[in-house]
Structure 1
Amino acid sequence: MAAASHLQAALRGEATEGYAIDDAFRQETAQGKMFGVLVVADESTGAIGYLAAYSGQIGGRSDQEGFVPAVFDYLQPDGYFKQHEAEISRINQSIERLESNERMKAAQDIIRQLEKTRRQTIENYRQEMKAAKARRDERRKNADLTPEETQRLTRESQFMKAELHRLKMSVSKETALEREYNAFQDDIDQLRRLRRQLSDHLQRWLFSQFNMRDKDGQEADLLTIWAHADTPTDIPPAGSGECCEPKLLQYAFTHGLRPLQMAMFWWGESPKDIIRHHLHFYPACNGKCKPILRFMLGDLLPADLNLPISSDSTNDSAATAAPQTLETVYSDSSIIAVNKPAGLLSVPGKGQCVSALTLLRRMLPHAEGPLLAHRLDMSTSGLLLAAQTESMYHALQDLFLRHRIHKTYIALVCPHADSPLLDGRQQGTISLPLSLDFLDRPRQRVDHRHGKPAVTDYEVIGRQTDADGHTILRLALRPQTGRTHQLRMHCAHAEGLHAPIVGDPLYGNLAAPRMYLHAARLVFDHPTTGRKIEIECSPDF
């Protein structure tokens, strides 16, 4: 914490020994950057100090004064990477010029209209054939049909089928404009393939230059590390090796320094898609950093890489002592609703630890089927609905899929200064599409391009001030959809309420013994009786 404070003072512009930070540096980092500190001991003298690093580049440089350098500096103007990057840029420019060709844009519109006309011509003839067939069928119903007329009707049918074939052949003939346009598109496709091949080659070359050193002095490049790591792909994600953690450890291991403690904090504005809070500490990301850390640290690696160094954060993986049973809130012959405490998994994790499902099976030894009709995050408390028969399980699943089970959650949130909740807005609807952050599971991200729709109604139902002077609002949240971490993201994100749930270990801005989110109410029509069921369970906060 002392090391982080020392670095933060320098970032604020205070005169701090060891750093030369100018206005351009501060302006860029104010837009958002991850910084890291590593407390180390000198192996020869035993002296204690710290190293500092930032992720990626600042001002197009990886060697700012006062910070450890990049593991591999590929930004040298005349270096291999820059030369080949320039080649790829030239291909990009060629593609852009071709794609902006006005004549080919006009040709594309003409060809599209031509295709439409062709399809309509064939469809019109099909309708004509259909009408002619109806007339023939009607005529054949009459008993006075002569052999000659029967033959004529057959010839008419054969002729029209042949005519349809000739028509298709005729309209399918490629025009000179289409031949030119297709050749033009082939040129663009070839350039795109070349660009992809060169990019893949350059990326692999770059990964092969990042030779990471472990605590025992052994080295391996990123391609080798990923080939032996338990990761979804054998190719590292772009930017691997450029985060704070590997840069700090690489410097320590190559300069006779023993790492003692490490922490990363966010400085400045949050990115648009993910959630980061100024001055908050964050663990290593799952996708890019953890495979490298597992190689570099080996048995020095903490048992739980998700645990931040700072006590200002809580964690999804820090479960409370498992209960022996669950409070039953509602029960009938086919349905049961229980109150899941915060810190208890809904279903067993990789370690097959105690979960709400395992407790339910103990409570209902004769129940059939999967039981749980839905799940709650481990950090969320409240109502879990389960079926005691397999048929009821499928009936409840159907109700959830059709959004016929209406849920109300209670949450305590700590709004940022620009939160709409502080402008007197007491209720409303948030619509922010979400998708998984593949490089940092299970975190979600706002994704306006590929995300799944996520909609939440909210209402302010209370206000208080905590002992430290923070404004805390009590919200009723009613999700219209059921995306992963939907309520947590909609509360925390700047495009949502910009008021993170207190104690949220992934997206929060205020520490607490638990995450203050509780599933408080379920309303639905009973699948068997049709009776309206209203189940309520008040939070303990």
Structure 2
Amino acid sequence: MSLPKQFTFPFFYEPHPLSLLAADQVKMYLRTQQDFKHPFWSDEQLNESPIGKMFGVMVVKDSNGNLGFLAAVSGKLANTNKHAYFVPPIYDILDEEGFFRAEEHHINRINRDIEHIQNGEAFAEAKTKLEEVKSANESALKAARELHKANKKERKQIRSTLDTVLPDVETQAILEDLIKQSYRDQHEYDVLKLETRTELNKAQSDVDQYIEKIERLKEERKRRSAALQKKIFDQYQFLNAHGETKDVLSIFQETAGIIPPAGAGECAAPKLFQYAYLNQLTPICMAEFWWGTSSASEVRLHEHYYPSCRGKCEPILGFMMQGLDVESNPLLQATHTPKGLDIVFEDNDILVVNKPSELLSVPGKQISDSVFERAMELRPDMTGPIIIHRLDMSTSGILVLAKNKEAHQFIQDQFIQHTIVKRYTALLNGLISEDEGLIDLPLRVDLDDRPRQMVCYTYGKPARTQFRVIERKNDRTKIHFFPLTGRTHQLRVHSAHSLGLHTPIVGDDIYGTRENRLHLHAGFIRFIHPTSGKEISFEVADPF
């Protein structure tokens, strides 16, 4: 077995045979080990929800040319970072003797103090007293206003009869007394307002003293948390093949301009690189695989190999691989697809094409070749905006382009109103029992691993797909999908997720297993033509 010429590009790769050999040994260890207990499966009696873990292997060479391998796990395992078989973390945040635990206990104590005040009887009584005082004051002032209003009305009535009943001297005396009554009412109201304000201020002060205590504790917690986070960042010092060191905060600020996300540096890959460099071992190749049950939000298949996550690992590994001869990023290489465009239909308003797999719908950051670019080359007189909808790069099939602004808006409105009928054909990597049905799983992007999508009932956007099986053959299912919404990777996730069909699409390199292509094809579309106003449809047979 020959050594690879370059180190594995960790974000898109086929595991080298040496990595597979090392991974097989790790899998054997996981099947037979008695070193720890972790709920990889639902039948393990640990009173914990089952959840799998990502493991990594790195084949290395020592100074004498001897080959071996390192193994690592992402995050903690069995509530500890200390394992005989796996390399240690860059910093053991779970060390009971470390500063993190000590400060964590202090911050937890502050949290308990805040909770004690917020839920305490004294604070509750003070708030109740304040509300009672407010209510009593409002009632007293309201009663006073009503009394004074009645007095004012009575005085007005008296004034209206004075000039016809009494002599001038007596009238003047009564008028002066009425004025005094008015002043007296106003004075009594001012005194009552002062008394109620004083009582209210006292009740408010009693409440404020608890609020101020809470705010002081929260400010202390914020200050301590920020200092702790800074100290944690300082512990994550990463090495590269040149022997250079850089902390995690600097890495993320220089490459992404952001604060490192939670868990940055805790994945398997950075642990493997760090241990190799610290022990003068040369990285040869690596691979990462999932072991156990997938979480409810993700699609992870037992024993399947996955690339390193981009959100947490890409900036870190970008630094740690400096000095290594690494494979080029295949995602930045232009794909070999047939030249030109396969035109299905064309008139003055629209251009309907059959997009091949692995061709972008629109230009990417590094690759410009796309349906848009090719359409502009073929029809430079199109005024656009041209692109009405998109297909994933790996998905083939019908794409409708607009040749003018009016056609674009007319057809786009139909997409927005969900009146366009679309049908996809997919080949699933397994047999499903249902003949037809509806999948309703809301989706959102995985912030740590774009463009991967996750099922999320809290922040996800609605995603609904109807399906109908058309053939079962050779342990695979051919199926028609009718998407009722248009979320990123919707059909791929709905196929692979355990709450969906639990059967990935053949060739899905994100949610399943890579093959020669993704077996997903947009084969049918029906909509209203922008000029004729008539319903038109197009159908293209799937290539698999």
Instruction: Indicate the TM-score class for this superposition, using the shorter chain for normalisation.
Output: 0.7 to 0.9
What's the offset of the Cα at 1:370?
2.0
CA contact (8 A) 2:333 2:367 kept: no
Q: Which stretch of the first structure deviates more once superposed, 64-73 or 27-36?
A: 27-36
2:288 to 257, 264, 272: 264
Q: Secondary structure at the match of 1:245?
A: helix
Q: Which stretch of the first structure deviates more once superposed, 219-228 or 248-257?
A: 219-228
CA contact (8 A) 2:297 2:456 kept: yes
What's the offset of the Cα at 1:263?
0.7
Query: Aligned residue for 2:494?
Result: 490
Mapped partners of 2:229, 2:85: distance in 1: 29
Mapped partners of 1:42, 1:242: distance in 2: 25
Mapped partners of 1:536, 1:106: distance in 2: 72
Q: Give ranges in structure 2 of 5+ residues lacking alignment.
A: 1-19, 139-192
What's the offset of the Cα at 1:506?
0.7
List aligned pairs for 1:153-192, cutoff 5 A.
188=214, 191-192=217-218
Residue type at the aligned position of 1:21: D
Query: Aligned residue for 1:456?
Result: 465
Larger radius of gyration: 2
Mapped partners of 2:117, 2:435: distance in 1: 52
Q: 1:504 to 1:85 in 2, by over 3 A?
A: same
2:61 to 29, 38, 41: 41
Q: 1:42 to 1:299 in 2, by over 3 A?
A: closer
Query: Aligned residue for 1:409?
Result: 424
- Taking structure 1 as the reference length, the TM-score comes to 0.77
Mapped partners of 2:389, 2:126: distance in 1: 53
Counterpart check, 1:210 vs 2:236: yes
What's the offset of the Cα at 1:95?
4.1
Mapped partners of 1:11, 1:62: distance in 2: 16
- Taking structure 2 as the reference length, the TM-score comes to 0.77
Q: Give ranges in structure 1 of 5+ residues lacking alignment.
A: 15-19, 119-169, 308-315, 466-470
1:21 to 22, 35, 39: 35
Query: Aligned residue for 1:385?
Result: 400
Residue type at the aligned position of 2:529: H
Query: Aligned residue for 1:122?
Result: none
CA contact (8 A) 1:319 1:343 kept: no
CA contact (8 A) 1:30 1:267 kept: no
CA contact (8 A) 1:435 1:446 kept: yes
Mapped partners of 2:125, 2:514: distance in 1: 56
What's the offset of the Cα at 1:47?
0.7
Residue type at the aligned position of 1:432: L
Residue type at the aligned position of 2:91: F
Counterpart check, 1:242 vs 2:242: no
Residue type at the aligned position of 2:489: H
Mapped partners of 1:199, 1:271: distance in 2: 29
Q: Secondary structure at the match of 1:88?
A: helix
Mapped partners of 1:180, 1:523: distance in 2: 69
Counterpart check, 1:349 vs 2:364: yes
Mapped partners of 1:317, 1:272: distance in 2: 32
> What's the % identity of the aligned pairs?
40
What's the offset of the Cα at 1:175?
6.6
Q: 1:338 to 1:185 in 2, by over 3 A?
A: farther
What's the offset of the Cα at 1:385?
0.7
CA contact (8 A) 1:11 1:21 kept: no
Counterpart check, 1:511 vs 2:514: yes
List aligned pairs for 1:85-164, cutoff 5 A.
85-98=104-117, 100=119, 104=124
2:315 to 291, 310, 322: 291
Query: Aligned residue for 1:522?
Result: 525
Higher relative contact order (CA 8 A, sep 6+): 2
For residues 167-193 of structure 1, the C-alpha deviation after alignment (integer angstroms, 9 at most, x for no partner) is xxx9xx997888876776665555445
Q: Secondary structure at the match of 2:271?
A: helix
Residue type at the aligned position of 1:454: A
Q: CA RMSD in A?
A: 2.9
Query: Aligned residue for 1:6?
Result: 25
Mapped partners of 1:319, 1:516: distance in 2: 20
Residue type at the aligned position of 2:407: M
Q: Secondary structure at the match of 1:393?
A: helix
What's the offset of the Cα at 1:89?
1.7
CA contact (8 A) 2:332 2:366 kept: no
Q: 1:299 to 1:531 in 2, by over 3 A?
A: farther
2:534 to 497, 522, 531: 531
CA contact (8 A) 1:454 1:483 kept: yes
CA contact (8 A) 2:348 2:403 kept: yes
Mapped partners of 1:40, 1:391: distance in 2: 60
For residues 203-259 of structure 1, the C-alpha deviation after alignment (integer angstroms, 9 at most, x for no partner) is 221111111111111111111222221x151x1111111111111111111111111
For residues 77-99 of structure 1, the C-alpha deviation after alignment (integer angstroms, 9 at most, x for no partner) is 13210011112222333444455
Q: 1:280 to 1:211 in 2, by over 3 A?
A: same
Q: 1:514 to 1:216 in 2, by over 3 A?
A: same
Query: Aligned residue for 1:474?
Result: 478
Counterpart check, 1:255 vs 2:279: yes
Q: Secondary structure at the match of 2:321?
A: helix
Q: 1:391 to 1:33 in 2, by over 3 A?
A: same
Q: 1:317 to 1:451 in 2, by over 3 A?
A: farther
CA contact (8 A) 1:25 1:58 kept: no
Number of residue equivalences: 454
